[in-house]
């Protein structure tokens, strides 16, 4: 989808729910010139002619530039397009359309299809704050590299890594399931259960309330967690090296122990056998990827 923030004159392109690109734009000379709301791309045109002044498509004097993406906004022919005045980008300059640099609209034109959502807003949010870095992240358990398949997306946002909860459960040997009745994500092993909610801060560890420092997020149906949640739920020592994009995990004793004596005994047995089980699951994970 595309989000356009008129106040900051930015266009954000989102792919698979993640912010992939942010471009500077020009919008209406007055706020009400460019409509706000939820729209869609209705048509695409290469080298659109500018009928108002009878300027042919492809002309260097064409104010629509080299590409046109028509919008479903009512009240006129609104679109996202290139321009013949690069100095206007980043300002309030148009009659209502959204202008991009010609090289930027060329890239965007090739990515989008007719029907994708376009949201136009006016607020103080800098879209760059949501920028996601999808360059590869190297993952280690007890200093041993973990082979991560293409289906397990890892990314960072504002220099913080986000790891699929499913992948972590595979690596550590936990079970993962969705409790539809309680609307929770359950991470379990014998004698241990953590209950999380997507996009929620509250969690339960063996029935004890816990407030997560970072809220789990859902992207394209996959739940992602950050370093703090990894440490809180899995009782690991997680270390992130942003310069090399390496994430090191090492098992540590749990700091949340159940109060029930029988459960404590089960947890003790569970922890004493955790290392071999992790190695087995790690081998299974590597063999499948």
The residues that are catalytic are: 81, 97
Q: Which of 66, 70, 60 is nearest to 102 (CA)?
A: 66
**Residue 247's beta-bridge partner residues?**
139, 240
Helix (H) or strand (E) holding 219: strand 217-219
Are 16 and 1 in contact, with CB atoms under 8 Å apart?
Answer: no
| DSSP designation for 48 | -
Neighbours of 119 (CB within 10 A): 15
d(CA 259, CA 257): 6
Residue 132: partners with Cβ closer than 8 Å, 6 or more residues away: 18, 19, 20, 155, 156, 157
Q: What percentage of the chain's residues is helix, strand, coil (to nearest 5)?
A: 25, 40, 40
* Maximum Cα–Cα distance across the chain: 84
d(CA 78, CA 23): 18
Neighbours of 47 (CB within 10 A): 15
């Amino acid at each position: 989808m595309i989000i356009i923030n008129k106040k900051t004159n930015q266009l954000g392109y989102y792919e698979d729910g993640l912010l992939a690109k942010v471009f500077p734009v020009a919008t209406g000379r007055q706020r009400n010139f460019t409509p706000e709301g939820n729209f869609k791309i209705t048509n695409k045109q290469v080298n659109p002619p500018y009928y108002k002044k009878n300027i042919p498509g492809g002309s260097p004097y064409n104010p629509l530039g080299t590409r046109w993406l028509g919008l479903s906004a009512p009240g006129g022919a609104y679109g996202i397009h290139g321009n013949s005045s690069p100095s206007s980008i980043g300002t309030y300059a148009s009659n209502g359309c959204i202008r991009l640099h010609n090289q930027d609209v060329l890239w965007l034109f090739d990515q989008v299809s007719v029907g994708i959502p376009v949201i136009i807003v006016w607020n103080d949010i800098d879209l760059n704050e949501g920028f996601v870095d999808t360059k590869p992240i190297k993952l280690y358990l007890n200093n041993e590299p973990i082979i991560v398949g293409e289906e397990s997306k890892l990314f960072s946002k504002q220099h913080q890594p986000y790891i699929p909860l499913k992948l972590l459960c595979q690596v550590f040997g936990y079970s993962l399931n969705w409790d539809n009745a309680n609307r929770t994500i359950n991470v379990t092993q014998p004698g241990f259960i953590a209950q999380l909610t997507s996009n929620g801060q509250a969690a339960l560890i063996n029935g004890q309330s816990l407030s997560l420092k970072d809220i789990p997020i859902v992207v394209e149906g996959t739940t992602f967690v950050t370093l703090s949640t990894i440490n809180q739920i899995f009782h690991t020592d997680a270390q992130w090296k942003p310069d090399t994009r390496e994430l090191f995990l090492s098992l540590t004793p749990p700091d949340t122990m159940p109060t029930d004596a029988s459960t404590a005994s089960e947890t003790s047995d569970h922890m004493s056998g955790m290392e071999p089980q992790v190695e087995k699951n790690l081998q299974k994970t590597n063999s499948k990827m």
